Amino acid sequence: MAVNLSKIKIILQTLRDRYPVVKTQLEHETPFQLLIATILSAQCTDNQVNKVSKTLFLAYPDPKALALAPLNRIKKIIYSTGFYNNKAKNIKACAQVLMNEYEGIVPDEMDKLVKLPGVGRKTANVVLSAVFCHKTIVVDTHVLRISNRLGLTDKKDPVKVEYELMEIIPEKHWNDLSLQLIYFGREICDAKKPLCPECPLLKICPSGKKSR
């Protein structure tokens, strides 16, 4: 999909001005903890994950401990993040695979990360960018929604959107842009009630103009 270069520049500049410093909101002390926190963040707020992960990582701070943890105990701790049955099975299995195949070390390759239980492309991209400083675009629900609203893509599939954004956004902006769009989605371009009248991107946003 063809996107005007000056429009991209305005979006990048506006987001950079508004959010000059961005980083993942998921609290963690190690790559492993970020990996687990990101798995837990599916369909859950970062705040809620942080509350839960504090207890989880106190009890099971590394792959070795989590691999041996009783499943029911994990379920109890992470219950409030939703989908706790699957998440508990996945994070325990993920820790076991890390121990059995990677000596407890989180791999820094997409192909290996997405083979870990509970890890999809989005989670892998979060870890690759935040921990290993790879250039990636994380397409979560905010990035997907706002990219469509701004007319940067017309695709609904996150992987297709990721590739389309990589085509039109200069690589040096990838990591920050993902986080800036997440911040922006929480603050302004809400899923249900976007604050279009006060949005700094209103002039170049097809969806915002339609809503006027």
Where on the chain is the footprint of ligand SF4 (CB under 6 A)? 146, 149-150, 188-189, 194-196, 199, 201-202, 205, 207-208
Pairwise CA distance, residues 62 & 77, whole Å = 16
Minimum distance from residue 120 beta carbon to ligand SF4 (Å): 26
Minimum distance from residue 84 beta carbon to ligand SF4 (Å): 32
Minimum distance from residue 207 beta carbon to ligand SF4 (Å): 4
Pairwise CA distance, residues 170 & 173, whole Å = 6
| Other beta carbons less than 10 A from residue 171's beta carbon | 10
- Tracing tokens 């429009």 back to the chain, one arrives at 7
CA distances from 97 to 74, 174, 193 (A): 17, 30, 42
Give the amino acid at 16: R
Residue of 87, 92, 122, 155 marked catalytic: 122
Minimum distance from residue 8 beta carbon to ligand SF4 (Å): 14
CB 26 within 8 A of CB 50: yes
Residue of 87, 92, 140, 176 marked catalytic: 140
Nearer to ligand SF4, 106 or 150 (CB): 150
Pairwise CA distance, residues 101 & 108, whole Å = 14
Nearer to ligand SF4, 37 or 144 (CB): 144
Give the amino acid at 183: Y
**What are the phi and psi torsion angles at 62 (to 5°)?**
-140, 170
Nearer to ligand SF4, 149 or 173 (CB): 149
Minimum distance from residue 138 beta carbon to ligand SF4 (Å): 18
Nearer to ligand SF4, 1 or 68 (CB): 1
Helix intervals (H) in 169-205: 174-187
140 catalytic residue (yes or no): yes
17 catalytic residue (yes or no): no
- Tracing tokens 């989590």 back to the chain, one arrives at 66
Nearer to ligand SF4, 53 or 180 (CB): 180
Active site residues: 122, 140
